[in-house]
Structure 1
Amino acid sequence: MNISHNLVELVRATPPLLPVVSDILNESLREISRDQRAGVAFHNHRFGGDPADRQAGATWCERRLGTVIDAGRVVVTNGTQNSLLMLIASLVPPGSVLLTEALSYPQIGILCNLVGATVKSVGIDEFGVVPEDFKRCCEEYRPKAAYLIPTVQNPTATMLPNHRRQQIVAIAREHGVAIIEDDAQACLPPSADAPIASLAPDITWYVLTLSKSTSVGLRIGYFVAPDLRQLEKVYARFKKMSMWFSSPISAILATRWVEDGTANRILGAIRGEMAERHRILKEELTKVSYQSSPNSLHVWIAGASGLRHAAAIAELAGQRGVAVRGWKEFQVAERDSPHGARVSLTAGNRDTLRTGLRRLNAALTTNCS
């Protein structure tokens, strides 16, 4: 076998391509094309989303927050990166510090560089953020905000226990630290602990997207502000820029799908597919332990899994024709962080996934103690 021509890429943590989603998209676009109001929508910017978009965003976020949300606190953006750029630029002035997990969403470091802020990382373990180290970092660095992914963490797939969430909230309050909570994959598990935003809505900016639970091409992001006064400060900074405005077609699709239940149907289909892919994972990755969450789009192979050279997982996988993302890609600040690799379960069909995991299992088994 010529591996170079048969590379299996287990890299992108995006929803799998499902025929049912393509069918729904085709039908939705046909319906929109027959709606005379759609043409008018393309002649106007959607500053923070129109009222229907914001209400749809509130409805989608309410499923996680567990309470009715004032749609006026909801902002509709052109995806999560836009949301994060707006929030970091508004909450973390140049020269100040943003805290995040020792391994985190790689673009956080880039966004901080763009606005002149510094990112510092907090220690993590097999459960997520270590509260004692979060407290130490707050005392040492005096951060303005913390960016956290407590549910299906990227890249480690951990679920931060509820008691730790409560500890993080207490520490953040004590030190005057705002929290930016990214809940990207939180709709995929059948149940998960309540978001930090539901424990501390007054200090938390809650970020959610439809990209992980419907389709990555639906470039719609939502964030919920603690209150209208704080939201006005964000608007004041970005009101003359249109790069964060949602595309009309994406906003129309997202709002229709939330309103008529289509988003829930797609989410159900993705959950079902991911349950099957996790079954394949269990069957094929038998020799090396990993961290996962129910229906998560990715899993994490950690250094504690018995590997002699955990830092080289991506290299070992590549030698067998499998591409995964190594830990260094997620190290957003210079400090000790867990070694390992993120393995996506969503690329290709189930047979492709099985092939990739089988190769990965063989590659890593030879490197176990």
Structure 2
Amino acid sequence: MQSMRHPDPLPSPFIPMAAAKPMQHWLRRLEGSDRPAYLLIADLIAEDLRTGRLGAQERLPTLRQLADSLRLNYTTVARAYGEARKRGLIDSRPGMGTYVRGRSPAVPLRGGSGAEMTMNLPPEPEDPALVERLRDSARELMARSDLYTLMRYQDFGGSPEDKDAAVQWLRHRLPDCSAERVLVCPGIHSALAALVSQLARPGELVCVESLTYPGIKAIATQLGVQLHALALDDEGPSAADFEQACKTLKPKALYCNPTLLNPTTLTTSKRRREALADIALRYSVPIVEDDAYSMLPREVPPPLALLAPELTYYVTGFSKCLGAGLRTAYVSAPSERQAQRLAGALRATTVMASPVTNALATRWVVDGSAQAMLQAIRNESIARQAMAARHLARHAVQAQPEGFHLWLPLSSSWSTVEFASYLRTQGVGVVASAAFSTDGDPPDAVRICLGGPLTREDCDAALRLIADTLDHPLHPHATVM
């Protein structure tokens, strides 16, 4: 804490009466805390807004008055007001002073401002040359395309050009991929919904990881399909649990997210993939391999689709390696016949993927722009993971260098929900573990995304706030709004 300047504990007589209310309370908290004074003052403003000690449009002391009252230097108080202003707690008006905004900040996290760490979005590299390359490629595509063709209904599964591009992209992971077994879909989520609806009827069971992609939970709930949780260890979902389920519960499919698992960042080992594939083959259980993140790491074990090709539906797309708005995904089915059956399920729910979106994805795959963007996202993720490692070095973070999310177990006095709620009031969004749990027993942990529209500076500031919150849990039981 900053050193005290003089012994007078009372507020200055020139401070407005309303603004003088919290001063003694603040002084006691400052004297009893090792937290940096400028951060603690901003926390106290937020706390007093929640408890009603401060009200809407209430005038705060001037910098000099507050410095005198709290026995701090002027620079520290100026920095505190700057921090509170950044959090959306106060406004300063020239000639009129500093006023409380009247509520804890309601940060429009999904509107693209603030530290949006809840949606698992890839980072957006600050590379003007790359952005211009993508823009030029899109311009040229539109200039040369027959727009009326792009605005018509098309056969489901993509045009021949789209399927050729899909094969080109998929062969990074599936060397023997063929166009006859490939479908071009409107995003990974729609492909998963069609697959679950085709493989399992209401009341039937699909095996999943005990912590998994929330989308598959939503799909199962909508379709009335039961999810059976497989315990996770350092190598991936439990092969023993899967085999026991196959013996006793007769699951209709195994769903897994084997590369950079959302949320824990775990990549299933080669040995565990082989064990899972062997069990699936012995019990004839189809596999849905959601490999959305597989293009990010430079080295990944072979996909399950190579280990059990006659059973595995391999699903990937561009939401995690280019951008979530590029709603084009690819499915490689076990056979041409199964691809045609899946096409029927997809057609019933989505009609078709957007020809305009598909054409853009195809263009970027063929001209190399997609690969260039993937490399830029990979490099940006590495830089941001380095920031996270620096700020959270004292905590048992689970992360992978080329991924853009991390898993943070909590061991402080914060509960998971309180921690996430408090960070949200500070403009930083994280996701509590319950969103990913399929066994009803979520661990004390949160997932943090380092991507999306955040700049590196925004990401660094958010990580610094998260680390500071972990290190100084001031009032964890007064944070849920």
SS, match of residue 34 in structure 1: helix
Amino acid corresponding to residue 142 of structure 1 in structure 2: K
Once the two structures are TM-superposed, the CA of residue 166 in structure 1 deviates from its matched residue by 0.7
- Find 1:343's aligned residue among 433, 436, 448: 448
- Answer whether contact 1:74 1:225 (CA < 8 A) is retained: yes
Measure the CA separation in 1 of the matches of 2:412 and 2:293: 28
* Aligned partner of 1:248 among 355, 360, 380: 355
- 1:226 correspondence with 2:334: yes
For residue 120 of structure 1, what is the aligned residue in structure 2? 228
SS at match of 1:288: coil
* Gaps in structure 1 of 5+ consecutive residues: none
Q: Note the 1:1-369 alignment, pairs <5 A.
A: 1-2=83-84, 3=87, 4-5=104-105, 8-18=115-125, 19-20=127-128, 22-65=131-174, 67-239=175-347, 241=348, 243-303=350-410, 306-307=411-412, 309=414, 311-312=416-417, 313-315=419-421, 317-318=423-424, 321-331=427-437, 333-347=438-452, 348-366=454-472
Alpha-carbon distance change, 311 to 114 in structure 1, aligned in 2, over 3 angstroms? same
Offset, 1:232: 2.6
CA distance, structure 2, for counterparts of residue 123 and residue 197 of structure 1? 22
| C-alpha spacing 1:135/1:39, structure 2 compared with 1 (3 Å) | same
Kept in 2: contact 1:286–1:361 (CA 8 A)? no
Q: Is the 8 A contact 2:385 2:399 kept in 1?
A: no
CA-atom RMSD in angstroms: 2.1
- Provide the C-alpha distance between the structure 2 equivalents of 1:177 and 1:45, rounded to a whole number of angstroms: 33
- The secondary structure found in structure 2 opposite 1:9 is coil
The answer (yes or no) to whether the contact 1:149–1:183 under 8 Å persists in 2 is yes
Paired with 1:32 and 1:321, the residues of 2 have a C-alpha distance of 39
2-side partners of 1:349 and 1:363: how far apart? 21
What's the CA shift string for 1:25-69, capped at 9, x where partnerless? Answer: 32122112211434323223241101111111111111012x131
**Distance change (3 Å), C-alpha of 1:167 and 1:338:** farther
| Larger RCO, structures 1/2 (Cα 8 Å, 6+ apart) | 1
Contact 1:123 1:129 in 2 (8 A): yes
SS class of match (1:323): coil
More moved, 127-136 vs 267-276: 127-136
Structure 2: stretches of 5+ with no match in the other structure:
1-82, 88-103, 108-113, 474-481
Letter aligned with residue 156 of structure 2? F
d(CA) in 2 for partners of 1:141, 1:302: 32
Give deviations 1:191-219, integer Å, cap 9, x for gaps: 11111111111111000011111121111
SS at match of 2:255: strand
Q: Residue type matched to 2:315 in 1?
A: V
Distance in structure 2 (CA, Å) of the matches to 1:26 and 1:321: 32
Q: Secondary structure at the match of 1:64?
A: coil
Higher Rg: 2
Query: What code does the residue aligned with 2:121 have?
Result: T
8 Å contact 2:156–2:343 — kept in the other structure? Answer: no
Identity %: 31
Amino acid at match of 1:31: E
TM-score w.r.t. structure 2 length? 0.71
